[in-house]
Amino acid sequence: MTGKIGLYNDWEPRIYKPLLDMKEITTLWEEGVELGAHSNQHKDLKSLDPKDLAKEVISSRHPEGLPNLKLHYFSYPFGWFNEEIKNEVKEAGFIAGFSVQHGNKDIFEIRRIPIFKRDNLLIFKLKISGYYFTFFNLIKRLNPLRLRKRNEK
């Protein structure tokens, strides 16, 4: 969120946290950490008209005040995207796109696993094990059965 460098995550008021500032970003970059873009203002890209969508994506690729920072990867805010958004990310010059919602049809739909502070050690180990989506999909399929059995009682 290149437009929010040094500010706060105002899109989630319950977890109001400071975002990285210029010095922290520069330090990470100089240490070899690969950084990616996450839009300019962390807006729901699906709700934007084509002109605002282009501005939100393109401006996130070249952060003001960090001219040497080259961002090659894009994570869709909230994980939400569609073909129009994917095309805008491609046209902006990114080489891949990431989502926590769904994906893996192509390099602009790479599905990633979200890691949260609230994840306990067991959940964290499951997420990094390679079996997270298998387990998650199994739970989703079993849940309607569990609800149906409760209603039959």
Query: Each residue of 30-88: pLDDT tens digit?
Result: 999 999 999 988 889 999 999 999 999 999 988 777 777 889 999 999 888 999 999 99
- Inter-helix orientation angle 121-129/132-152, to 10°: 120
pLDDT score at 145: 55
Question: CA–CA separation, 109 vs 92, rounded Å?
Answer: 16
Return the pLDDT at 150.
43
Whether the pLDDT of residue 149 is over 90: the answer is: no
Residue 69 tokens read as: 């920072």
pLDDT score, position 153:
46
Residues 91-138 pLDDT 10s = 999 999 999 877 678 999 998 888 888 889 999 999 889 888 788 778
Pairwise pLDDT comparison (153 vs 145), residue with the higher score: 145
Q: What is the pLDDT of residue 13?
A: 66
Rounded Cα–Cα distance for residues 75 and 135 (Å)? 24
User: Which pair of tokens denotes residue 25?
Assistant: 């970003």
Sketch out the chain's domains with CATH numbers.
Answer: 2-112 (3.20.20.370), 119-153 (no CATH)
Low-confidence winner among 5-9, 22-26, 41-45, 78-82 (lowest mean pLDDT): 5-9
**C-alpha to C-alpha distance for 126 and 132, rounded to whole angstroms:** 5
CB 94 within 8 A of CB 81: no
Count of residues in the chain: 153
* Residue 123: how many other CB atoms lie within 10 Å: 14
| HSE-up of residue 136 (Cα within 13 Å, Cβ side) | 13
What amino acid is encoded at 117 in this protein? K
Four-CA torsion 80, 83, 87, 90, nearest 10 degrees:
60
Taking each helix axis from N to C terminus, what angle separates 50-61 and 83-91, rounded to the nearest 10 degrees?
40
Q: In the 8-state DSSP scheme, what is residue 112?
A: -
pLDDT at 37: 92
